[in-house]
Amino acid sequence: MKRHNKAQTREKLLLNPVLQKGGAYPLLRLDERRQELKEKGAKLFDFGTGDPREPTGPKIRQALIAGLPEVSQYPTVTGTKRLRGSFCGWMRRRHNVVLDPETEVLPANGSKEAIFHAPLAFVHHSHARRGVAYGTPGYPVYERAAAYAGGEALPVKLKREDGFLLPVEDIDPERTRILWINYPHNPTGAAASRRYLEEVAEFCQSHDILLFSDECYNDIYSGEPPPSILEITRERTLAFCSLSKRSGMTGYRSAMMAGDADLISALKKLRPSIGAATPTFVQEAAAAAWSDDEHAAERRRIFGEKRRLFTEFFRRAGLDFLPTEASFYLWVAAPGGDDEAYALRLLEEGIVVAPGRSFGPGGEGFIRVALVPGLEECREAITRWEALL
C-alpha cells in the first residue's frame, strides 16, 4: 500500500500580499558581513541602530520595580490617570500646551506600534480617499502601516535643498487622507520651524487631511527646542511622543498619542481589538519619566557632546553632512556616492552605519550615523574612520 506523502500534496503557504511584497531584508550583504565580523570577535562600533547605550535613569527603573503588582491583571487601553496626568504635565512644561488627560491623550506600547496601528482607525480600502502621504527618505513604518490598513502609500521625496522639509505642494489633496510629518527627522536630523508647521497645519485643515506628527525626537536637541504640532493646532491632528530616546526606555516600549479628542476617541475604540494595552508597571516607569526633566537634560548634554565630536571630525575630514542640533542622527554624503559600498568599507574597520537607501528613495548616496555608542567609543571610532580617510 502506497503511503500518502503530505509534503507532496501540501499547497503553498498563502501570505498576506502586503507581507509577501515586503520581501527580504534589503541590505543582506551588510548584515551577513556584520555577523561574520561579530563571530570572529571583531570590535564593532554600532552607529546603525537608533538604540542609545546610556543607562536608564535610576528613578525610572525604581518606579518600574515598585510598580510590579502582587497579582497581575489586564491593563486598560486608556492607561492610568497618573500616566496621563504626568504626560500632560510634560506637555504643559515643554510646549505650553494644555491637554485634557481624559479625552486628548492615550498611551501606546512604543511609537512604532502606535504609528503602525493608527491608520487602521481612519483608512479603509473602500474609502474614496485612502492615501497616506509621508516623506522619503523616512521611517519605513508609515508606508507599511498604510499598506496593511488598505490605504494607498503616497511617498513624497524630500530634498536637501528644501532642508528635507516635506513640501505640501507635492501632496495630492484629492487622494490624501493622512499626512505624516516627522521633525526632528529620522534619518536626516533635519528640524522644522514653527512657521513650517503652521503652513502644514493650514494646508491639512483646508483640505480636510488628518495630520499625524511623529515627534519621537523632539526632546533631543542642543539649540532651540523643536516645536510640537500641538502648539499650532489639535484640530484633526495627533502628535506621537516617545520615551525611548528622551528617557532611554527603548526596551520599555512606552509612548503617548495626543491631540484631537475625536481622533483619540476612535483609537480608544480600535485598540481593545488589537490588545495593545501597556502593562501597569511600565506605565509607572513612564509616569516617573514624564514627570522628571533633569534626566532628559543630562541625556541632551551627552548627545550634544557626541554630535560635537562628529561634526568637528566631518569638517576636519572634508566630509559633506547636514548640520543639525536636533535628534541624535547625522546625515552624511557617502564619498564616491555609493552609500552601500561605503557602509561596507566602514564595516571592515568595525564602524557600523546605516546606508541611506534603507530609508527609501532619496536616501541613496548618504549614510546615517546614529550617535548611540558611549563617548569613549565615539572617540575611538572617529580615530579609526579618520585613519581610513
The answer on 208 and 325 residing in a single domain is no
Distance CA 290, CA 242 (A): 10
> Which one of 274, 291, 308 terminates a domain?
291
Q: Percentage of residues in the chain with pLDDT exceeding 90?
A: 87
Residue 199: is it exposed, middle or buried by C-beta count within 10 angstroms (0-12/13-18/19+)?
Answer: middle
Q: Establish if 60 belongs to a structural domain.
A: no
Q: Establish if 133 belongs to a structural domain.
A: yes
pTM of the model: 0.94
Comparison of pLDDT for 8 and 35, the residue scoring more: 35
Listed in order, strand segments (DSSP E) in the chain are 45-46, 105-108, 131-136, 152-157, 176-182, 210-214, 237-242, 255-259, 329-333, 351-352, 354-355, 366-370
Closest listed residue to residue 229, CA positions, set 214, 217, 244:
214
pLDDT over 90 (residue 155): yes
Distance (Å) of CA 55 to CA 50, 121, 220:
15, 36, 16
Residue 12 binned pLDDT confidence (cut-offs 50, 70, 90): confident
The answer on 175 and 114 residing in a single domain is yes
Q: Establish if 376 belongs to a structural domain.
A: yes
> Which one of 245, 272, 291 terminates a domain?
291
The answer on 303 and 283 residing in a single domain is no
Give the pLDDT confidence score for residue 4 in this predicted structure.
Answer: 54
Number of helices and strands in the chain (H, E): 13, 12
pLDDT over 90 (residue 179): yes
The answer on 102 and 201 residing in a single domain is yes
Mean pLDDT to the nearest integer, 8-22: 81
Number of domains in the chain: 2
Mean pLDDT to the nearest integer, 271-292: 95
pLDDT over 70 (residue 355): yes
Residue 24 binned pLDDT confidence (cut-offs 50, 70, 90): low
Mean pLDDT to the nearest integer, 289-300: 97
Comparison of pLDDT for 41 and 332, the residue scoring more: 332
Encoded amino acid at 215, one letter: E
Q: Establish if 63 belongs to a structural domain.
A: no
The answer on 344 and 226 residing in a single domain is no
pLDDT over 70 (residue 312): yes
Mean pLDDT to the nearest integer, 25-40: 78
The answer on 214 and 82 residing in a single domain is yes
pLDDT over 80 (residue 28): no
Residue 19 binned pLDDT confidence (cut-offs 50, 70, 90): confident
The answer on 317 and 276 residing in a single domain is no
pLDDT over 60 (residue 25): no
Give the pLDDT confidence score for residue 344 in this predicted structure.
Answer: 92
**Residues near 58 by beta carbon (within 8 Å), at least 6 away in sequence:** none
The answer on 28 and 115 residing in a single domain is no
Q: Establish if 64 belongs to a structural domain.
A: no
pLDDT tens digit sequence for 85-114: 999 999 999 999 999 999 999 999 999 999
Domain that holds residue 303: 16-55+295-388
> Which one of 234, 258, 291 terminates a domain?
291
* CATH number, domain containing residue 253: 3.40.640.10
Calculate the average pLDDT of the chain: 94
The answer on 325 and 283 residing in a single domain is no
Give the pLDDT confidence score for residue 269 in this predicted structure.
Answer: 97
pLDDT tens digit sequence for 195-218: 999 999 999 999 999 999 999 999
The answer on 223 and 106 residing in a single domain is yes
